[in-house]
A and B are shown apart, each in its own frame.
Chain A
Amino acid sequence: MDETVGPSEMIVHLGPQHPMMPGPFRLNAKLRGETVVDSEVEMGWIHKGIEKILESKTYLQGITIVDRICYLAAMTNEEAYVGSVEKLAGIEVPERAQYIRVIMEELSRLQSHLLGMGEYASFVGFVSMFMYTIRDREDVMSLIDSVTGARVTHSFLRYGGVKDDLPDGFKDDVEYVFGNLKKAIDNYEELYSTDQIYKARTKGIGVLTADVAKDLGVSGPPLRATGVAFDIRKDEPYLVYKDLDFKVCTQTDGDVYARIQVRLDEMRESMYIIEQCLDQIPSGPIFPEDTPYGKRSPVMRVPAGEVFHRVEDPRGEMGFYMVSDGSDKPYRVKIRGPVYPTLQTLPPLIKGVTVADIVAIAGSMDTCTSEVDR
């Protein structure tokens, strides 16, 4: 961004600690009156060096670290990490463990969308919505807690399986929670679609077209809101997703309103996937028979090689590129987070909008700074 300001122009620094910013990054916006002329994103306030840390930890220790990339998507981060090691080592996951993983990842997607949507609603001045979604998210968190023993950072997946089986009565708990949640989501949709002020603030704001979104490298709900049905669960199925019936939720408008609608629809699909899984889940082991790996062997050596494994995060495409040199620690791990390209699109997207719309657009992208900084 050019730092020189003309007459009736000024530079406003939004963040890193601004109550309306989705995470600690700084947005330097050059304004002319109320309109954004140019802007620039500055990162690095919570850089954790996770890629370097992973190089110095054994594979089993790494599972705990990748949880911390982004706490909202801890389960899918683990899936990407564990899945890439399983590909390198050629470990087959038993079917029951795959179903449990799918259930946990979809629950994780539910709670992430609930928080992301509520947080975003408070950015556009719809603070009571935040209270509703947080209340309903707590039920989903309790479900996750009852299986993994942790609410946020689970360390639940293991190479070749999962840490624990589903507890007794889990299906009944899920039915009870989903009964309430389905009503709640219908309620949110009604609130969003009938509120005229909300509609005026979100319809036609921050529009991305399909070609531009593809060009900018966006993935996840912001891309699907433009009409591109790009979903790793369909395009490159992992686990048992190819046996499950679900559709990729898309909208065509590509504005702030459409992105939220995609998330609402995706939550319904996630619940549908979990219900199918609970009906179809076979009995059997949660670890492969006579594996050299698994939860009882803290030190494992992975054959030398390179792999790129990607999964569908709540926010888009999450990928791990892993290089192994045959030792007990990864040689190089690259974390390809979904928000990294999405946050880059913020400066071109907010060019020409008013200051009040910046937070609406940034919030609807559901950015996670922790994941960009890693």
Chain B
Amino acid sequence: MDANSIISSLTGKFPEDIYDADIESDIRVIAKVKPENVVEVCRYLKEDLSFGHLCCEFGADYPDRNEIEVIYVIGSYDHPVVLTMKAILPRDAPEVESVVPVYWNANWYERETYELFGVKYLNHPNLKPLVLPQEMLGEWPLRKDYEGFPNKTARNLV
């Protein structure tokens, strides 16, 4: 399976949900997905296009566009193509459906994106902070307008 057939199969199956799909190179494909249907798209990717390996899932903050992107990087054990799929969420209330039912190892990635960016995952089995202490919840430290870094950590040390 090569990059061209993946793109045509994906846009053919989800003409409404997949947009801005593009081929970067033989082994890199990018696409954007509507956040409402991310679970169905992921299930199709895993079951029909053999994208069985979720490399990572994370957020990126764009305050000038007032958007938070949730980026899914999905690879495969059978073919060398890696798909980068972005779901664009509003920055004031980012909410997206959890993909844990499809990709089991998304669990920790989503917990971390939640505590660092404030992306709320719906129907996540255990949405609580992973690496940060409970009292830092709500500060969203990896957002660009976070002011605690590095002053807060340095003050705590002395």
Interface contact B53-A214, CB-CB below 8 Å: yes
By a CB distance below 8 angstroms, the chain B residues around A56 are 149-150
**Provided the pairs A44-B132, A310-B55, A317-B55 are in contact, do residues A217 and B105 lie with their beta carbons within 8 angstroms?**
yes
Which candidate, B8-16, B34-42, B77-85, B89-97, is the interface stretch facing chain A? B77-85
Whether the pair A344, B130 counts as a contact (CB closer than 8 A) is no
Flag if B130 contacts A43 (CB, 8 Å).
yes
Is the CB of A85 closer than 8 A to any CB of chain B?
A: no
Q: Which chain A residues lie closer than 8 Å to B71 at the CB level?
A: 321, 334
B131 touches A47 (CB 8 A): yes
Complex Cα gap A162–B128 (Å): 42
Q: Does B124 contact A (CB under 8 A)?
A: no
Which residues on B sit within 8 Å (CB–CB) of A321?
56, 58, 71, 73, 84
In contact, B149 and A319 (Cβ under 8 angstroms)? no
Q: Tally A-B pairs: CB < 8 A.
A: 72
With A49-B141, A214-B77, A217-B105 as given contacts, are A306 and B52 in contact (CB-CB < 8 Å)? no
Instruction: Check B73–A308 contact: CB distance below 8 A.
Output: yes
B55-70 contacts to A (CB < 8 Å):
55-56, 58, 60-61
A: number of interface residues (CB 8 Å): 32
Q: Which of A87-141 contact B (CB under 8 A)?
A: none
On whether the beta carbons of B131 and A319 are closer than 8 Å, the reply is no
Residues of B within 8 A of A310 (CB): 55, 82
Complex Cα distance, B28 from A236, in Å, reads 11
Closest CB of chain B to A338's CB: distance in Å? Answer: 10
Closest A residue, CB atoms, query B25: A87
Closest partner residue, chain B, to A1 (CB atom): B126
Q: Which of A49, A230, A235, A336 contacts B149 (CB 8 A)?
A: A49
Known A217-B105, A319-B73: A44·B130 in contact at CB below 8 Å:
yes
- Cα distance, A230 to B129, chains bound together (Å): 31
Complex interface: chain A residues within 8 A of B54 (CB): 217
Interface 0/1 of A302-339, CB less than 8 Å to B? 00001010100000010101010000000110101000
* B68 CB to nearest chain A CB (Å): 11
What per-residue 1/0 map shows which CB atoms of A144-165 lie under 8 Å from chain B? 0000000000000000000000
**Residues of A contacting B153 in the complex (Cβ-Cβ under 8 angstroms):** 49
Indicate if B142 sits at the interface (CB-CB under 8 A). yes
**Given known A-B contacts A49-B141, A308-B82, A341 and B60 have beta carbons under 8 A apart:** no
Asked if A319 and B56 sit within 8 Å, CB to CB, the answer is: yes
Q: Which residues of A contact B27 (CB under 8 A)?
A: 236
Task: Type the 1/0 row for B93-110, where 1 means its CB is closer than 8 Å to any CB of A.
Answer: 000000000011101110
Chosen A-B contacts, 6 in total, with CB atoms closer than 8 Å, are: A47-B131, A216-B105, A317-B55, A340-B109, A341-B108, A374-B131
